[in-house]
Structure 1
């Protein structure tokens, strides 16, 4: 084994021994925090064993872990790096998804910082540079606005969600890393062949997609028309789901505009 291999976080993530550090207790499926270590190098990661998944009646095919890996492969094929490095591998509780941990900095208004990338505030307090998604009533009966940043890093994630047909883009799934990048996590409920887009990132609905993003989508659609990328994705999702992914990419190319919901904007519940 070469030094270059052991210095590669991807190699450590895929091959390192997983040591349990903790558990994300509020997650709906088994979500464990681990350290992957090999030859003196360690990478913090999230491990979601397949045996800890709760079956979903409307996602009967494959596994949530497989959908997470397929979503990562799509993000990489686009060249966007939105989803942290993700692999499917064995672990202490059997095969599962292992994803590199994202170190984040917190921005809390009460601490004098700006709002999070996705946040809630009074309707009259939406800050400049944030987009209002919808209004609701909080537990005390007060009106609040669901908002997100008008940030090109976040918009790229929103376009990815359209391609992935993400049914679960919660506010807490958009993370701003210490490296300045914006990452999306939790993609187990993606890539269904039927339309299921549910997201908190509706602020760009009806607006054109940036030209540079559409250039990447065009190249991605071309790769989907070949043999190599579909073959890799077929290890994790069904042939019908790959066809539907190709159809969504081509539809976006024909009309490079962020979709508008036909009725009220569907968001996951809870939103965070």
Structure 2
């Protein structure tokens, strides 16, 4: 059966800063972040399906240009369980954490002033529609190359097994989501690119001090973490300690309690050495799942 519907393709940089036929984002994120932070933003449209204000923009600086998403704080809907800070700050914190892992799973993201006040600005990434990361399959086993998530209703009152790809990029993202305590990892947030990269978007509901993990990426639940992931977690743990550069940066974006809870999650993952399992206290998969 076909994979669940994805969000529309996203395009990246053009002009001297990047080759449109090359990678979706250049290796030097600092140049992209400079463009996003200091370039002139022009609103070109709005993504109406989003629950908060999400504006599609062009950005230009010194002959370089690109396309990006701008989410102004003024367009955020208040959330009772995320009362501290802003969703925009959490989006930037997710990028900083992703960058620190070396996995670079979150597109370059900055906090800046824009046409509608302060908000987050994130590079727009082009997704490859030919890459299938999610699917519905018949039977009770996912089959080679897939990991089972759970059963979903399909047309005619039946059910099918919802699966995600057994992909090392997704496995890294599952670890990152557990670290940042992502409360809303949906299929539409996954953006595979034609050059083999994977990006993930929409991180406004992350870093809560309470356990909020809800995700589609449960396929590795309770399995041992890879040696690579454990190595990254140990390095992140050192950088999150008092005086660490990552700790200092995140302290500007999330609360002290949230930063301490982040340290605790990293320590717990290292100690247990396994991917987390659903807590059973609330639905483990966000709705809708895509």
The TM-score normalised by the length of structure 1 is: 0.91
Q: 1:92 to 1:119 in 2, by over 3 A?
A: farther
Unaligned runs of 5+ in 1: 108-113
1:248 corresponds to which of 232, 246, 265:
265
Choose which of 157, 162, 172 in structure 2 pairs with 1:146: 162
Q: Does 1:42 align with 2:58?
A: no
CA contact (8 A) 1:10 1:85 kept: yes
After superposition, residues 98-247 of structure 1 pair within 5 angstroms as 98-107=121-130, 116-123=132-139, 126=142, 128-227=144-243, 228-247=245-264
- Give 1:14 deviation, angstroms: 1.1
Q: Do 1:202 and 1:265's aligned partners in 2 also have CA atoms closer than 8 Å?
A: no
CA distance in 2, matches of 1:151, 1:167: 21
Secondary structure at the counterpart of residue 178 of structure 1: coil
Measure, in 1, the Cα distance between the counterparts of 2:211 and 2:79: 16
Q: Is the 8 A contact 1:23 1:31 kept in 2?
A: yes
Q: Deviations over 1:90-135 (max 9, x none)?
A: 111111000011111102xxxxxx6x21233434795530111101
If the length of structure 2 is used for normalisation, what is the TM-score?
0.86
Equivalent pairs counted in the alignment come to: 262
Structure 1 position 53, deviation (Å): 0.3
What's the secondary structure of 2:116's corresponding residue? coil
Structure 1 runs (4+) greater than 6 angstroms displaced: none
Structure 2 runs not aligned, ≥5 long: 1-15, 18-27
